[in-house]
Amino acid sequence: MTAIPGVGLLALIAVSALALVRTDDVTCQTIALSYYGLLLALMFFLFRAPDVALAQITVGAIALPLMVMLAITRMKHREATRRKEKEGK
């Protein structure tokens, strides 16, 4: 019963993984990472592993992309601060 949707979902996961790797913009990569995590959670749920799906939603679709975005923001803020300090001297 889950063979046809499962194969389709696995193909969609493969395409989204390729799109994730091929994207150049870091913000778009983070959004694609979140989408990829949601697809993986859907796959786990479809293959009857709801506990793993909940963990994947928490970690792979929410926490990891949030930490990446916070790290990127922090790096940009730090770079802007250093640039201002160099201009001030």
Gap between the Cα atoms of 60 and 73, Å rounded: 19
Instruction: For the chain, give every domain's residue range.
Output: 3-88
Average model confidence (pLDDT) across the chain = 91
Average pLDDT, stretch 34-42?
A: 93
- pLDDT given at position 5: 83
* pLDDT one-digit tens code per residue, 45-68: 998 999 999 999 999 989 999 999
Average pLDDT, stretch 2-18?
A: 89
Instruction: Return the higher-pLDDT residue of 3 and 58.
Output: 58
Structure token pair of residue 81 = 């601060």
Task: Say whether pLDDT at 1 is over 60.
Answer: no
- pLDDT given at position 2: 63
Gap between the Cα atoms of 49 and 47, Å rounded: 6
